Amino acid sequence: MCGICGIWSPREQATADPAEAARLMFFSLYALQHRGQESAGIAATDGRDLRVVRRMGLVGQVFSEPDLRVLTGRAAMGHTRYSTTGASKIQNAQPFTVRAEGLGELAIGHNGNCINAREIRDRLADEGVHFVTSSDTEVVAQAIAHAPGSSWDERITHALPTLVGAWSLVLLTPTALYAIRDPLGVRPLSLGRKGGSWLVASETSALDTIGAQFVRDVAPGEVLRIDDRGPVAIADLASHERRGLCIFEHVYLASASSRLSGVSVYATRERMGEILADEHPAEADAVIPVPDSAIPAAVGYARRSGIPFHEGLIKNRYIGRTFIQPSDELRRHNVALKYNALSEVLDGKRIVVVDDSIVRGNTSGPIVELLRRNGAKEVHMRICSPPIQHQCFFGVDMARRSELIGARLDVEGIRRHIGADTLGYLSLGGMVSATGGTREEHCTACFTGDYLVPVQLELQKSVLEEKRVLETESA
């Protein structure tokens, strides 16, 4: 996941309020907090140098008003991290900065996963490049910094075609902001405008939060340079073989208030619930969601089925999204803290409970148990996506395939494991249909195993961590 954003403002705006760009980045990152909860950072420039503040924790914990006085300048970029390659520690927090001979500094924020990072890192290390982190983002940054070319434009367009996977980027130099969407179009990236300022963000919800107007999506493979002349496309690196937006963005990852490829995420999730009701009806007294991401689907299920919609689970808003916690132990612990059940709604009732997905199966069982403990007579679990059976290599740390319950058990086995009376999954065709697009327009690899590019099936998020340990020991 991860959230990335950037802004380039007119010089006169920076003169009026030197911290305005960083302040807008702060609120944009707040709107992208759901995309990563491990660390956050902002880089800013006044046209001479780059200044960076990055720390572990949530956006509201990381930045303070004194930080904004440091992050002055007309342009800024921000990042909120959820780790896919590289451990959750401060050395891997973004933005990173690198220095290139003859060009100066470059700050980088990355959303996605460069699946050939180890090979590129090995090549650069053989050329004498020193690495200080275990993140694939540093590999991308150093590949750009050490590419041939007399300008950042030339180095960027030379280095990026060597990368494989999903690697949407926001780059900042003292003279320009770059917005780059991966050639496969797996991760979303939007372009917006606020007055004379140009902005980019992972989701349109970040633009809405700061009062910016959505202009368009950055196209797959498009490399935009943004400076005083506005956004200019300097390269088209789009894949001519296959491409596709991650369909799990529609199911879970993106904010319900965002639009993906011009389509409302909330409306898509409602349609998923409606189709789910057609495919897996149930005799029940109430439909309840697992908040928050499944609420629209539960609304759709209730509307199509005619079964009343109720809130049966109340979410503790101060507990983060358990899906993106960095360990199973924390995830299991948080389930007990995350929800309170309403016995007044559940007692003696047959309940349809709608959720967006089942990944490892560690949360669904305790939810079913919680509902029964609070009086539910029957629990019919309905999932508004197909079984997740394959590992993601394009920016979502779902787990290795051996940890995915959908890869180990059939639907009946999963039903028994979680303790539900019945279990129904939305079909692949139903999920795709709900988006209003086609299967060819989406990446569905986590459900089908049909990857957009060849992948190393046992790739781990710690691959560069292990490499760094070996290098340290050998030194």
Residues near 404 by beta carbon (within 8 Å), at least 6 away in sequence: 359, 360, 388, 389, 390, 391, 398
Cα angle value 92/97/98 (rounded, 5°): 115
Of 194, 219, 243, which marks where a domain is finished? Answer: 243
CA 354 from centroid of its chain's CA atoms: 22
What CATH number has the domain bearing residue 17?
A: 3.60.20.10
Give domain status of residue 112, yes or no.
yes
One domain, residues 344 and 280: yes
Residues 292 and 150 in one domain: no
Same domain, 63 and 208: yes
Q: Could you tell me which residues come within 8 angstroms of residue 270 by beta carbon, excluding any fewer than 6 positions away? A: 296, 297, 299, 300, 303
Alpha carbon dihedral 8, 13, 18, 22, in 10-degree steps, equals -40
Same domain for 38 and 174: yes
Has residue 453 been placed in a domain?
no
Tens-digit pLDDT profile for residues 71-110: 999 999 999 987 655 566 677 888 999 999 899 999 999 9
- C-alpha 2/C-alpha 78 separation (Å) is 11
Cis omega before residue 122 (within 30°)? Answer: no
In 10 A of CB 403, how many CB atoms? 15
Q: What is the phi/psi pair of residue 187, to 5°?
A: -100, 140
The rounded mean pLDDT for the chain is: 90
pLDDT of 160 strictly over 70: yes
Residue 284 lies in a domain: yes
Measured between alpha carbons, how far is residue 405 from residues 275, 408, 409 in Å? Answer: 24, 5, 6
Residue labelled with tokens 């612990």: 333
Task: Quote the radius of gyration of the chain (alpha carbons, Å).
Answer: 23
Residues 194, 203: Cα–Cα separation, whole Å: 15
Same domain for 257 and 223, yes or no, is: no
- 460 inside domain: no
For range 253-257, the mean pLDDT: 96
Distance CA 330, CA 36 (A): 15
Q: How many CB atoms lie within 10 A of CB 475?
A: 5
**244 CA to centre of own chain:** 15
pLDDT at 321 over 60: no
CA dist 38 and 139 (Å) reads: 20
Let me know whether 236 and 280 are in one domain: no
The residue that leads in pLDDT, 241 or 336, is 241
**pTM > 0.75: yes or no:** yes
Q: Is the backbone peptide bond immediately before 95 cis, with ω within 30 degrees of 0? A: yes
Residue numbers of the domain that contains 225: 3-243
Looking at residue 309, the DSSP 8-state letter turns out to be B
Please measure the distance between the N-terminal and C-terminal CA atoms of the chain and give it in whole angstroms: 34
Q: Are residues 403 and 270 in the same domain?
A: yes
Of the listed ranges 250-254, 451-455, 468-472, the one predicted with least confidence: 468-472
Q: Is 310 found in the same domain as 289?
A: yes
User: Please, are residues 54 and 62 in contact by the beta-carbon 8 Å criterion?
Assistant: yes
| Pairing of β 222-227 and β 230-236 | antiparallel
Determine, yes or no, domain membership for 174: yes
* Structure confidence at residue 390 as a pLDDT band (50, 70, 90): very high
- Domain ends where: 243, 259, 288? 243
Distances (CA, A) of 321 to 77, 104, 268, 298, 439: 24, 38, 21, 19, 28
- What residues are labeled active site? 2
pLDDT at 326: 46
Number of domains in the chain: 2
Same domain? For 204 and 277 the reply is: no
What CATH number is given to the structural domain containing 379?
Answer: 3.40.50.2020
Assigned token pair, 110: 């990355």
Spatial distance between the Cα atoms of 103 and 100, rounded to a whole number of angstroms: 5
Is residue 473 included in any domain, yes or no? no
Pairing relationship of beta strands 50-56 and 75-81 according to DSSP bridges: unpaired
Task: Say whether 194 sits in a helix, a strand or coil.
Answer: strand
Q: Are residues 285 and 225 in the same domain?
A: no
Q: pLDDT, tens digit, for every residue of 31-75?
A: 999 999 899 999 999 999 999 999 999 999 899 989 988 999 999
Asked whether residue 46 falls in the same domain as residue 83, the answer is: yes
Q: pLDDT (tens digit, 9 = 90+) per residue, 358-379?
A: 999 988 999 999 999 999 999 9
- The answer to whether the CB of 429 falls within 8 A of the CB of 437 is no
Nearest to 235 by CA among 127, 159, 294: 159
Of the candidates 440, 445, 437, 469, the one whose C-alpha atom is nearest the C-alpha of residue 165 is 445
Mean pLDDT score, 443-464: 77
- For residues 330 and 257, membership in a common domain is answered with yes
In a domain, 83, yes or no: yes
470 within domain boundaries? no
